[in-house]
Amino acid sequence: MEKKERLIEVRTAEGRPILSLYITEREAAAGERQAASASQTSSQSNNDSSMTDAQKRYLFRILADQGMEADAAHQRLKKLFGVDSLQQVSKREASGMIEQLLEEN
């Protein structure tokens, strides 16, 4: 198998290299493939768990910047997500809504 090598460089504004990374492709052992698969599954399940407090605070901050605060913001978020409680909102859904609200601004 032919190994692929990639070079990634970080340069100053003047163009001088300050960091060079050589990345070489290699074949993963069976144990590494299983660990990577388990990590990916864990990551996917984390995205489906309830939104974080930081995401919730950020959503309220975005709405506050639009002039909507407290209960009005809470009701607006429940309506946007189509839920009875914000605890029903997943991390993935919260991230999508944050992006959507930021684009609307």
Q: Is the pLDDT of residue 34 over 80?
A: no
What's the CA gap between 50 and 45, in Å, rounded?
Answer: 10
Q: What is the pLDDT of residues 75-104, one digit of tens each?
A: 999 999 999 999 999 999 999 999 999 998
pLDDT of residue 15: 87
pLDDT surpasses 80 at 24: yes
Tell me whether strands 17-24 and 5-11 are parallel, antiparallel or unpaired.
Answer: antiparallel
Q: What are the distances in angstroms from CA 17 to CA 5, 23, 24?
A: 18, 17, 20
Q: What is the pTM (predicted TM-score) of this model?
A: 0.55
The three-point CA angle 74-79-83 to 5° equals 90
72 burial (CB, 10 Å; 0-12 / 13-18 / 19+) is: exposed
Q: What average pLDDT does this structure show over 5-14?
A: 86
pLDDT average, residue stretch 42-70:
83
